[in-house]
Structure 1
Amino acid sequence: MSQELRAVDWTGSGIALIDQTLLPQRTDTLDVQDVDTLVDAIQRLVVRGAPAIGAAGAYGVALALLQGEREGWTDGDVRAAVARIRAARPTAVNLMVCVDRVMTRFDEGLDAVLEEAVAVQREDVAANRAMGVHGADWLLQRVGAGRPLRLLTHCNTGALATAGWGTALGVVRELHTRGLVETVYADETRPLLQGARLTAWELVQEGIPHLVQADAAAAGTILRGEVDAAIVGADRIAANGDTANKVGTVGIALACAYAGIPFLVAAPTTTVDLATATGDDIHIELRAGDEVLEWSGVRTAPAASRGHNPAFDVTPGRLVTGLVTERGVLEVSAGELPGERLK
């Protein structure tokens, strides 16, 4: 894969998004020229992954300004449009953080807003590169296998989910550049298959050996001793280290704890929400029940059945062996808490 792959980019008049709902069958780009389209794209998962959504939100402020100029909006109209972007997905804190950051330059005009949005994207790529190195070094010291590692990951945390390179998958990519990946177990990630469709696609581009497995197979794979470590991303991390990530993550963490292998969370510091004390305070997005009741538009459950479709779950900090950010690794389960170390 080209290291220049960008899930989110500014075109000069709008936002270009790789349409992740179409991968791996098609690689199309959605040209976003208005706020309604951007909000819809975020909610439909055309763009997804906390850092990528953050970058989209940052550029969304510029998009709102341009649309306001075209359509004669008042200042209040533009701010209301930005607020809609900010609230498009409530669990991922990066969206709110990045929009708020860019809004500090709102009164300076479009050029200043774009300058800040570009900085958001540039800094995320640099942070991902740094956490890849930190995470790889920590895993090699912790596991000490003396051979290439067998890794498990959940959902998609690569270049598609970020401004570039990746978080958890960035750690995998760094290990791969050192010749230290034997195989990656990529959980399929029901119900929208971000692992089977997106992570597997990225691993193919990189030439990284991998196996796609059902989410329900993950715990058994770990307990059979076939995994050296699990690496996942995060959408919000509380001050005590509790971590919200794609639904299914907490089961992986429990299996790792039982098996005595590392469970590593990789996320930039923008994902750490020090204003959220514990995972109990994290709002969990409930998506449409049809996502679990249908497949490709065909009903698979009885007509009378209703769907329960939380997009995320919360892993207690005591199960997080390591939290890797661009600053290094916190051993959360050993008492190194984000609220104390990342202030």
Structure 2
Amino acid sequence: MYKSVILGTGPAGLTAAVYLARADMEPLVIEGPEPGGQLTLTTEVENFPGFPDGIMGPELMDNMKKQAERFGAVFKRGWVTDVQVDQRPFTLQVDGIGEIQTKSLIISTGASAKLLGIPGEKENIGKGVSTCATCDGFFFRGKKVVIIGGGDSAMEEATFLTKFASEVQVIHRRNELRASKIMQLRAQENDKVTWALNKTPVEMVSDGMKISGIKVKDNETGKEEVIDTDGIFVAIGHNPNTDFLKGKLDMDEKGYLLVEPGTTNTNIPGVFACGDVQDQKYRQAITAAGTGCMAAMDSERFLEGEAAVDWSQNLS
């Protein structure tokens, strides 16, 4: 029986672990198949406060884990297959660990960026391939980049990248964009944005050290060509990691967990959500860490409130 269990070890989960451990809550943190979350796929992080010279993503996550361990957080590797939240204590089935019971639960399983699934993509993440323009755009100052996607996120990131890149070429597999008219207009009116529509990405080209181009196929002619580029940004959306929670917690049509505004409370008392699993707008390490702090404090106050109720009942 644990006072609190945290699912996920990105910035949100690890921050929650630090706060709960410092409060002598002895949290158990379940690490999934990708400990550290998306930041472990990032090379240098320059926008996390406190690191004027930047820090490598994996190092930042490792430091946060060590900080949580220092205060008493316990880490175990496993894959949560089922969660029972209709009665307390909550019960979790975890491959590699077994059954776990907890008085409170913090879900920080994050959201995974959708990838194209083409050759050269995964192995070049952090070597010129990125899924976050606001995270990595700075590294492409004066460079030529491409962004893949046709929705609002792609248009927003394309416009953002023009602050740094000399040229931003939008590649989309259809002739028409899915983005709202206003987002399309903003991108179309920017002189730095060029277009490669009705073209399907086939392969990401690398010299072994970094990206040098992307091979695309013209959907009308079938002809393939390589577009030279210094960076490739994939902006085709994210999937919140909540499949194991469907039908158990309230979520939106995309699968993001719904929380009470201004808190991390889900619709189940004692279950809290933080980080990208409930945030499809900002998706930054620092905002995730902030909600991790909130979740820990919400969890602690929830348990303290229950303890006070139990004590008053004993007195009566």
Q: TM-score, normalised by structure 1?
A: 0.26
Please identify which structure carries the higher strand content: 2
Please identify which structure carries the higher helix content: 1
Greater RCO structure (CA 8 Å; 6+ sep): 2
Q: TM-score, normalised by structure 2?
A: 0.27
Task: Give the structure with higher Rg (CA).
Answer: 2
